[in-house]
């Protein structure tokens, strides 16, 4: 009888790595989205899954609220990601065909963390778009997004 198990990815692997430059999310207005600068390159490793972890600095989050994550693949022109709307912060949300999931936030003034797990990733280059629907602008600092990759193996 075959058994399936998770195995370390051939690319990033299970060690968390930043998917963001240090200031990209600072003070991101409510209702806006931004394309994160870090390109994730899965064109050699061909990992199948990724987890994304978001940590936000303290802000007065209101209800209902969430942070949306979208995967923007590099298009055939070699320069445009997804629909090209979010090179800098712009009004969102991004189109639903790029949607990976959302992380719910507590309606409180505090730092918050959450994760999306088991996200299927494409065999190519892509970037993440983060959509702020937290009810307020994000904090002016201490905002991060990280990722790790892995595969499933039948043994």
Cα within 13 Å of Cα(24), Cβ side: 23
pLDDT at 64: 81
Quote the pLDDT of residue 87. Answer: 82
Buried b (16+ CB within 10 A) or exposed e, 14-51: eeeeebbeeebbebbebebbbbbebebebeebebbbbb
Q: Where are the domains of the chain?
A: 20-154
- Please name the CATH architecture into which domain 20-154 falls: Sandwich (2.60)
* Residue whose C-alpha is closest to residue 55's, from 148, 147, 145: 145
Residue 2 has pLDDT above 90, yes or no: no
The SS3 assignment for 123 reads coil
- This prediction has a pTM of 0.93
pLDDT given at position 63: 86
Average pLDDT estimate for 78-97: 92
């Amino acid at each position: 009888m075959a058994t399936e198990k998770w195995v370390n990815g051939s690319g990033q692997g299970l060690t968390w790595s930043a998917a963001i430059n240090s200031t990209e999310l600072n003070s991101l207005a409510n209702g806006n989205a931004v394309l994160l600068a870090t390109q994730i390159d899965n064109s050699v490793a061909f990992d199948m899954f990724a987890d994304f972890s978001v940590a936000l600095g303290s802000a007065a989050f209101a209800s209902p609220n969430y942070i949306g994550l979208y995967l923007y693949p590099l298009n055939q022109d070699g320069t445009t990601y997804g629909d090209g709307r979010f090179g800098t912060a712009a009004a969102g949300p991004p189109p639903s065909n790029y949607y990976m999931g959302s992380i719910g936030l507590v309606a409180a003034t505090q730092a918050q963390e959450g994760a999306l797990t088991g996200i299927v990733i494409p065999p190519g280059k892509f970037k993440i778009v983060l959509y702020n629907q937290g009810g307020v602008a994000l904090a002016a600092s201490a905002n991060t997004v990280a990722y790790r990759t892995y595969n499933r193996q039948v043994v």
